[in-house]
Amino acid sequence: MTVERVGVSFEPELLDRFDVLIKAKGYTNRSEAIRDLVRKSLIESEVEGEKGDVIGTLTIVYDHEAPNVTNRLLHLQHHHHSEISSTTHVHVDEQTCLEVLVVRGRGEEIRELADNIRAVKGVKHGELVLTKAIL
């Protein structure tokens, strides 16, 4: 593989903090850490406005004792069955549940599904993480 060398300037404090971070994450050199950051930024930028196929997860935490929350979530999931590949349900405590939905489909449809689920009364938190379906 061919690589191009580039120069990057850092303030000393920023470089010190970066070195601590990359060591904690197990990088053996700054170049690989910077390449990973660039790749991540490029994918996030491309996925942000992506109208094509994306794949990812929607993680939600909700109060299963909130009125109708379980029924509303199940209804939304069944309505979007073609975008949901699988789900995992965890009982956090007697009142709180965590679900992870593996999602795949058109970017705008997945974001709409995530917005609709996060808007359900009783859902405390929802986090959508997407990447391009084909990298």
Tally Cβ neighbours within 10 Å of residue 43.
15
Q: What is the pLDDT of residue 39?
A: 85
Domain parsing of the chain, residue ranges: 12-48, 53-132
Instruction: Name the token pair of 23.
Output: 């060591």
Domains 12-48 and 53-132 belong to one CATH topology: no
pLDDT of residue 17: 94
Q: Which CATH superfamily is domain 53-132 in?
A: ACT-like. Chain A, domain 2 (3.30.70.1150)
Per residue of the chain (135 residues), give pLDDT as tens. 788 888 889 999 999 999 999 999 999 999 999 998 888 888 777 777 656 789 999 999 999 999 999 999 999 999 999 999 999 999 999 999 999 999 999 888 999 999 999 999 999 999 999 988 775
The per-residue pLDDT for 51 is 63
Pair 100, 87: CB distance under 8 Å: yes
The CATH superfamily of 12-48 is Met repressor-like (1.10.1220.10)
pTM over 0.75: no
